[in-house]
Amino acid sequence: MSDLRRLEVSEVGDVTVVRFVDRKILDAANIQELGDELFALVESEERKTLLLNFTNVEFLSSAALNKLIILDKKVKAVSGKLKLSNLKTEIREVFAITRLDQLFDIKDDEADALAAF
């Protein structure tokens, strides 16, 4: 994919590993762009096995969570797999409070996540 602004994408075997450029995922325009880039991975590039690595992320709002929920639906619609890893304590707490840790498969680190596909 060309011209990615919000994501860094790499391949590890069959898994597409996605890292976020922004430390704080807040701004509405950035979140829109982030969603568009994530959705294109599934819909345009037909990638079905995705790992989102949150190493860089210190803060994300509910608007960003909504994009992840939509991504999860898109991945499930193509019978793909989506995992999350490397969430900082505060971000993990946000997933726990919202019970999104029940919706998403969250692993401690990238190696754990890759081994679990």
Partner 1 sequence: MSNQTWSFDQRIPNDTSVGRELLDELVVQLKRAEWSEHDVHGVHLSVEEALVNAIKHGNNEDPDTSVHVVFKVSAAEILIQITDQGEGFDPHEVPDPTLDENLAVPSGRGLMLMKAFMSVVHYNDKGNQVIMEKVKN
Residue pair 63/28 in contact (Cβ under 8 Å)? The answer is yes
- Among 2-10, 21-29, 45-53, 108-116, which window interacts with partner 1 (CB under 8 A)? 21-29
Q: Find all residues with CB under 8 Å of 115, minimum gap 6, and list them.
A: none
Give the Cα separation of 34 and 39 in Å (integer).
Answer: 9
- Assess 105 for contact with partner 1 (CB under 8 A): no
C-beta separation of 17 from 10 below 8 A: yes
* Single residue of 19, 21, 27, 117 touching partner 1 by CB under 8 A: 27
According to CB under 8 A, which one of 56, 59, 74, 81 is a site residue for partner 1? Answer: 59
What is the three-class DSSP state of 1? coil
Q: Is 67 in the site for partner 1 (CB under 8 A)?
A: yes
Q: Which residues bind partner 1 (CB under 8 A)?
A: 26-28, 59, 61-63, 65-67, 69-70, 72-73, 89-90, 94, 97-100, 102-103
